[in-house]
Chain A
Amino acid sequence: MDTSRQQNMFRREYLGKGIATVCGLFLIVLTIAIGCFLLGKGSLTFTQFDHSITEFLFSSQWKPSDTEAGGGQVGALIFIVGSILTCALALLISVPFSLCTAIFMTKISPQLGEKIIRPAVEIFVGIPSVVYGWVGLVVLVPLIKTVFHVQHGQSVLAAAIVLAVMIYPTITSVSADAIRSVNSKYIEGAYGLGSTRWQMIYKVLLPAASTGILTAIVLGLARAFGEALAVSMVIGKMRAFPDSLLAPTNNLTSAIASDMGGAMDGGEFNAALWSMALLLFIISLVFILIIHALSGRKGAAA
């Protein structure tokens, strides 16, 4: 009986290990497959249709022809600028709020932080992006229209605010973890030298948590870059450089999402959209590499 139970244990051990390994391998294969697929599809613009990478990245002439013959123009600069602008502005809005919340919930009022803010932040993370977009469309867009007296409220600003709200919980909760994990001996040391609470926070606590806070910001940025639905609802989807933050424009994700259905398979238009998807993939890969480099640095410092 004893031996059969042992055999059973071993069998379960191997079974568990086997399943875990297969899942892990599958994930790796899947990631590589998606990467290769995107690379294959996305590079057609440059191989089959003979456009240069420079044109794609730095030209704003976007007239891809929806045929297999090609011959159009595939400058995606407007979309790229739109993505960068909205994300940068979203960060600018979100980071100060997130850091203040993170500091408040960890160091100023931990009880309130644990009981109310942390659950609230977790709920925020779970709200689907269509809700953010919708609320943005019916509340934010009319508000911008009336406050700034512009023709359409759909704008860079609207997109940036929606994105800022969406990434706020991510940055807040990851930075709060980073602040919480700062060794209390630094905090004691700072107080012991006669720091006020604020001096302790900005001279010791935040620098000591800076790696984790940077990770939080990159995570937020990655989420903002990849977001399509909510942004496409409020950005205005106009193919022009915005002349102000109140002007509409377009970005990579919205352009792909709205045009992919209409573009003919095998055509130049389709290939150009795939190139934009490839670009997004590469950017998110870069973000992930940055996060890894950061956490490696944190490991070395501790």
Chain B
Amino acid sequence: MYNDSVLGVAAAEASMPIRSNLSFTCNHVNLYYGSFQALKDINLKIERNKITALIGPSGCGKSTFLRTLNRMNDLVPGCRVEGEIMLDGVDAYKDVDPIVLRRHVGMVFQQPNPFPKSIYDNVAYGPRLKGITKKAELDEIVETSLRQAAIWDELKDRLKKSALGLSGGQQQRLCIARALAVNPEVLLMDEATSALDPISTAHIEDLALELKKKYTVIMVTHNMQQAKRIADRTAFFYLGEMVEYGDTQQIFDNPQKERTIRYVSGNFG
């Protein structure tokens, strides 16, 4: 039922003429938690193989927006989404099951959350969901995923050990490997470095730069320096609205909107 290729097939049919350089296209997206409107008329096009950063003060709707992209908000009772979110020409809310969508749009959370299982079983979790059971095949996926997350050399001798014994930074890279093992097109990161020390943070930033060659990376960060360092495009959110969106350099050096100017110059309040 949860055939992995559903999105791919639909995508092939829908976007045959132009293999566009766009990943997500959001048109007039409104989101409500009960009667509270958390996202207001968001229009945004996210480019493929780029790092897009979402910045803005706490509570402005960054996480909420990120979680509409893989429909994690479907799990919140009373949450309602309006508008259109297209991924590769497929309507993420109409044409595809959320389970399938989440296998195409991986997610890394703020708190590293490896399962209380072995390192190997963590990475093999997603492939197993898809019905892959052959040991050789799983071994290969585990190794490539851990290599992509730049943590293979550290962990290759302790794959059978519990993932909970790793340091926070290692756990987060393991979570990235776990997400990559599902073979997604897009990787969402919600403040994935905010619980980590500077060295681990630098590791993950390097990793993101490496990953964008193959994946589209969308990251929420409250750290403007981080957005400056690694993001190609930056969107500034404020009170549920997307105020400004552009090349990172433009947003930070030459912001157009009053609110953006105040936020990036640090005079926000």
The chain A residues found within 8 Å of chain B, CB to CB, are 183, 185-186, 188-196, 199, 203-204, 207-208, 301
Q: Which of A189, A196, A199 contacts B113 (CB 8 A)?
A: A189
Which residues from A are CB-within-8-Å of B72?
188, 191-192
Residue of A nearest to B100 (CB): A194
Tell me if A208 and B129 are in contact (CB < 8 A): no
A79 to B17, CA, bound (A): 79
A-B contact pairs, 9 of them (CB 8 A): A188-B113, A191-B102, A192-B179, A193-B106, A193-B178, A193-B182, A194-B126, A208-B115, A301-B116
Q: Which of B102, B111, B164, B175 contacts A194 (CB 8 A)?
A: B102
Tell me if A194 and B129 are in contact (CB < 8 A): yes
Asked if B103 is an interface residue, CB under 8 A from chain A, the answer is yes
Tell me if B103 and A185 are in contact (CB < 8 A): no
Asked if B136 is an interface residue, CB under 8 A from chain A, the answer is no
A-B contact number at CB 8 A: 63
Known: A189-B175, A208-B116. A194 touches B103 (CB 8 A): yes
A183 to B109, CA, bound (A): 14
A82 to B40, CA, bound (A): 68
Which residues from B are CB-within-8-Å of A193?
102-103, 106, 125-126, 129, 178-179, 182
Residue of B nearest to A208 (CB): B116
Which residues from A are CB-within-8-Å of B75?
188, 191
Which residues from B are CB-within-8-Å of A191?
72, 75, 102
Which residues from A are CB-within-8-Å of B164?
301
Closest 6 pairs (CB-CB, A-B): A194-B103, A185-B113, A192-B107, A194-B102, A189-B113, A193-B126
Known: A192-B72, A195-B99. A207 touches B106 (CB 8 A): no
Q: How far is the CB of A48 from chain B (nearest CB, A)?
A: 53
Which residues from B are CB-within-8-Å of A188?
72, 75, 109, 113
Residue of A nearest to B179 (CB): A193
A90 to B144, CA, bound (A): 48
Most buried by B among A185, A189, A208, A301: A189
Q: How far is the CB of B166 from chain A (nearest CB, A)?
A: 14
Tell me if B129 and A186 are in contact (CB < 8 A): no
Tell me if B129 and A195 are in contact (CB < 8 A): yes
Residue of A nearest to B70 (CB): A192
What 1/0 mask marks residues of chain B from 117 to 145 whose CB sits below 8 Å from any chain A CB? 10000000110111000000000000000
What 1/0 mask marks residues of chain B from 34 to 76 whose CB sits below 8 Å from any chain A CB? 0000000000000000000000000000000000001010010
Which residues from A are CB-within-8-Å of B102?
191-194
What 1/0 mask marks residues of chain B from 152 to 193 whose CB sits below 8 Å from any chain A CB? 000000000000100000000001001100100000000000
Tell me if B116 and A203 are in contact (CB < 8 A): no
Supplied contacts A192-B72, A301-B116, 17 more A-B pairs, CB within 8 Å:
A186-B116, A188-B75, A189-B115, A192-B109, A193-B103, A193-B125, A193-B126, A194-B2, A194-B126, A194-B129, A195-B99, A196-B2, A199-B129, A203-B128, A203-B129, A207-B115, A207-B117
A301 to B75, CA, bound (A): 27
Known: A193-B103, A193-B129, A301-B164. A185 touches B109 (CB 8 A): yes
Which residues from A are CB-within-8-Å of B115?
186, 189-190, 204, 207-208
A192 to B125, CA, bound (A): 12
A68 to B253, CA, bound (A): 102
A193 to B130, CA, bound (A): 10
A186 to B175, CA, bound (A): 11
Tell me if B179 and A196 are in contact (CB < 8 A): no
What 1/0 mask marks residues of chain B from 15 to 39 whose CB sits below 8 Å from any chain A CB? 0000000000000000000000000
Which residues from B are CB-within-8-Å of A190?
115, 125
Q: Which of B2, B99, B109 contacts A189 (CB 8 A)?
A: B109
Which residues from B are CB-within-8-Å of A189?
109, 113-115, 175, 178
Known: A185-B113, A204-B115, A301-B164. A192 touches B129 (CB 8 A): no
A301 to B107, CA, bound (A): 25
A207 to B129, CA, bound (A): 16
Q: How far is the CB of B100 from chain A (nearest CB, A)?
A: 7
Q: How far is the CB of A199 from chain B (nearest CB, A)?
A: 6
A199 to B2, CA, bound (A): 12
Most buried by A among B100, B103, B125, B182: B125
Which residues from A are CB-within-8-Å of B113?
183, 185-186, 188-189
A208 to B2, CA, bound (A): 25
Which residues from A are CB-within-8-Å of B128?
203
A190 to B129, CA, bound (A): 10
Which residues from A are CB-within-8-Å of B175?
189
Which residues from A are CB-within-8-Å of B2?
194, 196
Q: Which of B70, B111, B130, B182 contacts A185 (CB 8 A)?
A: B111
Which residues from B are CB-within-8-Å of A183?
113
A62 to B133, CA, bound (A): 55
Tell me if A196 and B99 are in contact (CB < 8 A): yes
Which residues from B are CB-within-8-Å of A203?
125, 128-129
Which residues from B are CB-within-8-Å of A192?
70, 72, 102, 106-107, 109, 179
A203 to B122, CA, bound (A): 11
Which residues from B are CB-within-8-Å of A199?
129
A183 to B113, CA, bound (A): 9
Which residues from A are CB-within-8-Å of B100?
194
